[in-house]
Amino acid sequence: MLDINKDELKKDYEKKFLELNGKELRDGADLQKYEALGMLVRDYVIRAWINTNKKYKNSSEKQVYYFSMEFLLGRLLGDALLNLGIRETCKEALDELGIDLYKLENLEQDQGLGNGGLGRLAACFLDSMASLNIPGHGCGIRYKYGFFEQKIIDGKQVEVSDNWLRERNVWEMKKADKSEIVKFGGEIKTETINGKLMFTHVNYEPVLALPYDTPVVGYKNEVVNTLRLWSAEPVCNEFDFSSFNRGDFLKAIEYKNSVESISLVLYPEDSFYEGKKLRLKQEYFFVSAGLQSIVRDYKKHGGNILELEEKIAIHINDTHPTLAIPELMRILMDDERLDWETAWRLTENIVSYTNHTILAEALEKWPVEMFKKLLPRIYMIVEEINERFCKELWNKYIGQWDKISRMSIIGDGYIRMANLAIVASHSVNGVAKLHTEILKKKEMADFYYLYPKKFNNKTNGITHRRWLLKCNPELTNLLTETIGESFIKHPTDLENFEKYLDDTNIREKLAQIKLNNKNKLATEIYNTKGIIVDPNSIFDVQVKRIHAYKRQTLNCLRIMELYNRLIENPNLDIVPRTFIFAGKAAPGYYLAKNTIELISSIAHKVNNDPRVKDKIKVVMMDNYRVSLAEKIIPATDLSEQISTTTKEASGTSNMKFMMNGAVTIATLDGANIEIKDEVKEDNIVIFGLDAEEVLNYYKNGGYSSWDVCNNDLRLMKLTTELIDGTYNVDRRRFKCIHENLLDYNDEFFVLKDFDEYLKAQDRVDKLYRDSSNWQRMCGVNIAHSGIFSSDRTIKEYATGIWGSEVLYKNL
Ligand code: 26Q
């Protein structure tokens, strides 16, 4: 915790501003004020950062490295202030200078180096590791362009590149002296020296990996961990850029472009895999740079390579960093001269893997030919791993060729990354109970029977520091006033709040806080979309990536149905609702983009119809991102978690909503199941097919969406409205959605769950009318959200997977 008072802070700030801008604070522009504050906070952080690194160097504690293609950090200023314990002091200091801290915080660009759940989870984990005194560091890519910015123009998504580094990034520190070289292409020369096979990589294309470090500040504990992101740069000496020889010059430019493309942009697909060579390059690039620097650092401080497994743990966030496995083998064998068996033992004990999806189309596999050419030495190692593995299988499963070929790491001309990750790591985990069960019993059953001990569950979590303390200060105050501050270090202490829920006074306060947050969001909606919404209506929210399995269309259909009912019966007695959507579609995902258009069309029709003006409004907000989520979530009454059961591995926004006192309407999918187990049936609204029913339909068939539709007049009308011009003069506009629901037999059971969903929504309407009980439900959700803090998740990883020392026990 930083020991600084308001006056000191004021003085430091004015000085910093002057230093940076050569003028007085009062003459500065807002962005300059933000930047100066950011730089000052970074100064405050640096002392603890250096000390933390010193401590790690001199200690024998295991260092954890979390490898991820994505880190979706969002903004950092507010969080850094909070974790340093000076956000209040800073607010007061700035108030006295006539500056609004929150306004400055709002000027920060989101650090959007991730697509969604997986990237945000990595960010929450970094925060928890630092706050729990765990030496845990992030390793990823410093994309020049993050996840694209989304504009909704004429109801359609338009992608704009996210040039987040245009303004100065005050948080990162370039570490040129820690650069590494990553090698692509070329050939491998094999020779025997002293009876040992040696491999030399020749004619390769070298890429300079330049690291940028960002501090990860722990909560009031003096710990500052590091997120290291790698940028790809040309190796300058290799080519002479000033050469007058035209051929060489062009070659040099080509080389420069090819290298810089590696860390140019984040791939915006989050559930669909396409075998792009550049993506493979990205994956190897950061994994190789990261591992080389880890091993280099380890040896520099006198570490014995044979003890590496006791000193470091490498965690891979989905299969994207799986090349860490053959790369570590390469370093241990080719650079460190260990034999295969030793390198293998170390690698297996060091690496652990999390699976985040069971969608078959998201499984990574790389064409052998492409892989071999780009990464010749790595390919040799993968081949050898596969040969040894298959031999084991032949001995074990005599004659069971189908099974062996399914499990093989290389097959049908592809390298299957999940198979490699499972075979070569000591731990494989799913991210919620149901998800892990499905991995074990279905998706990865062959491997589960071979290695039952490797498989385990780690239900996801979210950092309550950002997702409660920072984004909902009023609720945080109410909680500390009633149950004290212990929940901040021990989030499950939130349970103490439950007994206060009998107090009507407390329930009214909850309602008032929610209303205040809704008022703020209403203003934001008016400012950005020009739509007036009623803060006294139910804020009914579905914000997440747009994807068929998440079923935004189910939500659309029921709004269309409600609209029809209201037109037929203007006196229909419903609690007014505001339907809020936000989310990005992958640029190449036609159906998802079409869904955005449908939402926009419904919004256009409904919002301009005076007959329903006081009853319903529909809003599609632009550019969903971490900072927008921080505004929407505290203002939500009803959280929509309506994925097709079995498809959402966990979900994490479901946890954020409950922590902020929203009631959830959900299918029994992912972590929704665990949320229900916590709050009990009365405090959540559940509907829809269960996992068994869904799996049974997928396996045995028997579902006909036409039948369901033909037996339901409402659905007949609604599906017709999709193609009869009701929602667009161009009748073909929503043909694709219509086709998916009917001609392609509704893969995600939208029509099947429709009736139950509507009934569930009616229950919500009834529940909300009993305001006092509704507030109790919200309170129960808050009280039981502590278990979904990522602190709990990280402790489970630390003890169950990484074997890192558990110093946090002393907290
Ligand atoms: C893979 C190859 C090529 C290009 C892109 C990708 C790719 C990128 C991102 C594949 C998947 C992702 C992201 C997946 C993801 O976010 N999954 C979500 O992870 C959350 C955290 O565990 C879960 O809560 C969600 O249920 C899950 O959908």
- Looking at the CA of residue 649, tell me the nearest atom of ligand 1: 26
Cβ of 116 below 6 Å from ligand 1: yes
Looking at the structure, tell me whether residues 97 and 121 fall in a common domain.
no
Looking at the structure, tell me whether residues 10 and 70 fall in a common domain.
no
- Give the pLDDT mean for 399-409: 97
Instruction: Compute φ and ψ for 221, nearest 5 degrees.
Output: -135, 15
SS3 73: strand
> Beta strand 63-67 with 71-74: parallel, antiparallel or unpaired?
unpaired
- Give the pLDDT mean for 56-62: 91
CA distance 455 to 407: 16
Q: Name the nearest CA neighbour of 328 among 288, 298, 297, 380.
A: 288
Looking at the structure, tell me whether residues 531 and 578 fall in a common domain.
yes
- If one residue of 265, 276, 357, 435 were mutated to test the ligand 1 pocket, choosing by the most ligand atoms within 8 A of its CB, it would be 357
Q: How far is CA 354 from CA 182, 269, 421, 787, in A?
A: 25, 19, 9, 20
Q: What is the pLDDT of residue 807?
A: 58
CA distance 436 to 650: 10
CATH number at residue 695: 3.40.50.2000
Instruction: Compute φ and ψ for 349, nearest 5 degrees.
Output: -75, -20
Q: What is the pLDDT of residue 646?
A: 98
Looking at the structure, tell me whether residues 670 and 695 fall in a common domain.
yes
Q: What is the pLDDT of residue 637?
A: 98
Please write the tens of the pLDDT for every residue from 572-591. 999 999 999 999 999 999 99
- If one residue of 265, 266, 271 were mutated to test the ligand 1 pocket, choosing by the most ligand atoms within 8 A of its CB, it would be 271
- Give the pLDDT mean for 264-291: 93
Is it the case that residue 210 has pLDDT exceeding 90?
yes
Please write the tens of the pLDDT for every residue from 611-638. 999 999 999 999 999 999 999 999 999 9
Looking at the structure, tell me whether residues 416 and 525 fall in a common domain.
no
Looking at the structure, tell me whether residues 101 and 161 fall in a common domain.
no
Cβ of 118 below 6 Å from ligand 1: yes
Q: Domain span at residue 674? A: 517-784
Q: What is the pLDDT of residue 768?
A: 98
Q: What is the pLDDT of residue 195?
A: 86
Is it the case that residue 309 has pLDDT exceeding 70?
yes
CA distance 617 to 609: 10
Burial 551-569 (b: 16+ CB within 10 A, else e): bbbbbbbbbbbbbeebeee
Please write the tens of the pLDDT for every residue from 65-124. 999 999 999 999 999 999 999 999 999 999 999 999 999 999 999 999 999 999 999 999
* Percentage, residues of the chain above pLDDT 70: 98
Q: Which of 372, 407, 425 corresponds to the end of one domain?
A: 425
Looking at the structure, tell me whether residues 291 and 418 fall in a common domain.
yes
Please write the tens of the pLDDT for every residue from 164-197. 999 999 999 999 999 999 999 999 999 998 888 9
Is it the case that residue 775 has pLDDT exceeding 80?
yes
Catalytic-residue membership of 507: no
Looking at the structure, tell me whether residues 161 and 238 fall in a common domain.
yes
Q: Which of 377, 403, 425 corresponds to the end of one domain?
A: 425
- Give the pLDDT mean for 444-457: 98
Beta bridge partners of 111: 74
Cβ-based neighbours of 728, under 8 Å, separated by 6 or more: 597, 601, 734
Domain count, the chain: 3
| Domain assignment present for 165 | yes
State the DSSP H helix or E strand holding residue 582, giving kind and residue range, or none if neither.
strand 577-582
Please write the tens of the pLDDT for every residue from 135-167. 999 999 999 999 999 999 999 999 999 999 999
> Beta strand 156-162 with 71-74: parallel, antiparallel or unpaired?
unpaired
| Domain assignment present for 224 | yes
| Domain assignment present for 471 | no
Q: What is the pLDDT of residue 59?
A: 87
Catalytic-residue membership of 166: no
- Give the pLDDT mean for 655-671: 98
| Domain assignment present for 495 | no
Cβ-based neighbours of 776, under 8 Å, separated by 6 or more: 501, 507
Looking at the structure, tell me whether residues 121 and 234 fall in a common domain.
yes
Whole-number Å distance, alpha carbon 139 to ligand 1 midpoint, is 17
Q: Is the pTM of this model over 0.95?
A: yes
Please write the tens of the pLDDT for every residue from 222-272. 999 999 999 999 997 555 555 556 677 888 889 999 999 999 999 999 877
Q: What is the pLDDT of residue 806?
A: 62
| Domain assignment present for 473 | no
Looking at the structure, tell me whether residues 196 and 288 fall in a common domain.
yes
| Domain assignment present for 556 | yes
- If one residue of 269, 356, 458 were mutated to test the ligand 1 pocket, choosing by the most ligand atoms within 8 A of its CB, it would be 356
Q: Name the nearest CA neighbour of 283 among 250, 225, 327.
A: 327
Looking at the structure, tell me whether residues 528 and 419 fall in a common domain.
no
Q: What is the pLDDT of residue 2?
A: 81
SS3 584: coil
Is it the case that residue 777 has pLDDT exceeding 60?
yes
CA distance 354 to 719: 39
Both tokens assigned to 381: 């190692």
* Percentage, residues of the chain above pLDDT 90: 94
Burial class (CB in 10 A: 0-12, 13-18, 19+), 209: buried
Looking at the structure, tell me whether residues 93 and 176 fall in a common domain.
no
Please write the tens of the pLDDT for every residue from 674-710. 999 999 999 999 999 999 999 999 999 999 999 999 9
Length of the chain: 811
Type of residue numbered 157: Q
Cβ of 779 below 6 Å from ligand 1: no
- Give the pLDDT mean for 475-496: 98
Cβ of 263 below 6 Å from ligand 1: no
Angle at 470 between CA 174 and CA 132, to 5 degrees: 65
Catalytic-residue membership of 281: no
| Domain assignment present for 465 | no
- Can you tell me which residue has the tokens 């006909």? 704
Q: What is the pLDDT of residue 240?
A: 52
State the DSSP H helix or E strand holding residue 210, giving kind and residue range, or none if neither.
strand 205-217
| Domain assignment present for 482 | no
Is it the case that residue 425 has pLDDT exceeding 80?
yes
Q: What is the pLDDT of residue 413?
A: 97
CA distance 792 to 659: 15
